[in-house]
Structure 1
Amino acid sequence: MIEAELKARVRDPEHVHAELESRADGRAEVYHDTYYDTPGRELTDGDRELRVRTVHGPDSTSTVLTYKGARVDEASGSKPEAETPVEDAAAVHAIVRGLGYTPVIEFEKRCRNYDFKARGRSMLATLVQVPEVGGQHWIELETIVPDDQVDAALADVRAVLAELGIEDGDLTTEQYTDAVAAARQ
């Protein structure tokens, strides 16, 4: 399956927040992301990612292990994704390190997530702030689809973003890992 996703900078967070709240109840969560790679950076060089994410919600904490393959669509950065819940965060970090991967970067994202249906698809919209990067807001809008539906799904995602007031010029493929690394220099 492919995570057909577009990400954009948000110029008017209050407007986008109100539009999303009209579609679904948002849930506030804080993500603690740790990205891993080999010492030789083979994953990064191959446009792949290995991440352990711990999500702190108002009522619970959960952890997921995620692998993202190389992009299948350069314009959007959409990638194949495999993700699974993890019962013990410390254990999965130990396993990943034991397999020879090392942490490359860790950071926090403050998110508000909205699950809703649009254009016949289940979609997840996430409003994101990364404290280390300053006051910037982003939106990620995604839907999970089979390989042969990526183009149609991205067209639907783009249309929903337009309904939220996001323009094509706001779209970005910038990665949070790069933004955080730049902010730390």
Structure 2
Amino acid sequence: MPVEAELKARVRVPGAVERGLGERAVARVEVYRDTYYDRVGGELGRGDEELRIRTVEGVGGRRTVLTWKGAAVDEASGSKPEYETEVADAEAAHAILRGLGYVVWIAFEKRCRNYEFTAYGREMLATLVEVPELEGTFLEVETLVEEAELGAALEDVRAVMGELGIGAGELTTETYTGAVAERRGRGASGGGGGA
């Protein structure tokens, strides 16, 4: 089962991290419009699962992806099994989920600068993230691996973070969904984890 080996940090000096990433790859600037679904009773959120439709807008146009993430397989990092596929019609995808009994738990926007590169023999994706409702800048570094490789992959991701000047004290398992829900006064209960 593919697992997204990912670490996330609150970035203290975004400009320095951006320069370091710029030495590795050209940034792809995109806006994500994320909608997280759950059952009325919140079963997915309680099970640490996520069901999301993401519409991505950037210079390359617009695309929509449907993602399911299972419960975390590594509590320290929050890394989860992940399946994702592009969908041709965003409205149809939303209608299908609603028709199956899912309801919107939370929706919000992420402004992202994505950098794709190879490090330690792995394809990596580093993303500088700003969520308009939250303070600060976040950095996510991830690679997709089989679960048996997770430990080694997380060490490689941690090494990339270190090369970008991110220390252990900046790492966080805080979720965007939880933080946005709290900001909106909804609390973090129910709904998906929302890396």
Q: State whether TM-score is above 0.5.
A: yes
Q: What is aligned with 2:167? A: 167
The one-letter amino acid of 1:41's match is G
Instruction: Indicate the residue corresponding to 1:14 in structure 2.
Output: 15
After superposition, the CA RMSD in angstroms is: 0.5
Partner Cα separation in structure 1 for residue 60 and residue 71 of structure 2: 34
1:52 lines up with 2:49 in the alignment: no
* 1:114 alignment counterpart: 115
Instruction: Describe the SS at the equivalent of 1:151.
Output: helix
1:91 is aligned to 92
CA distance in 2, matches of 1:142, 1:61: 23
Alpha-carbon distance between aligned partners in 2 of 1:184 and 1:148, rounded to the nearest angstrom: 38
Map of 2:28 onto structure 1: 27
Structure 1 residue aligned with 2:124: 123
TM-score normalised per structure 2: 0.93
Q: In the aligned structure 1, how far is the partner of 2:27 from the partner of 2:15?
A: 13
Q: Normalised by the size of structure 1, how large is the TM-score?
A: 0.98
Tell me the secondary structure at the aligned position of residue 131 of structure 1. Answer: coil
CA distance in 2, matches of 1:107, 1:149: 32
1:34-92 CA-to-partner distances (Å, cap 9, x unmatched) read 00000010000000000000000123000000000000000000000000000000000
The CA deviation at 1:183 is 1.3
Q: C-alpha displacement at 1:147, in angstroms?
A: 1.1
Q: In the alignment, residue 151 of structure 1 is paired with which amino acid?
A: G
Identity rate, percent: 62
Secondary structure of 1:132's partner?
coil
Structure 1 stretches of 4+ moved >2 Å? none
The letter of the residue matching 2:177 is: T
Alignment partner of 1:103 is 2:143: no
Give the residue type in structure 2 aligned to 1:45: R
Q: SS of 2:133's equivalent? A: helix
Instruction: State the Cα deviation string for residues 122-169 of structure 1 (Å, max 9, x = none).
Output: 0000000000113x1000000000110000000000011000000011
* Residue segments in structure 1 that go unaligned for 5+ positions in a row: none
The reply to whether residue 147 of structure 1 matches residue 150 of structure 2 is no
Partners of 1:13 and 1:102 lie apart in 2 by 35
Give, in angstroms, the shift of residue 24 of structure 1.
Answer: 0.2
Matched residue type, 1:137: T
Aligned to 1:133: 134
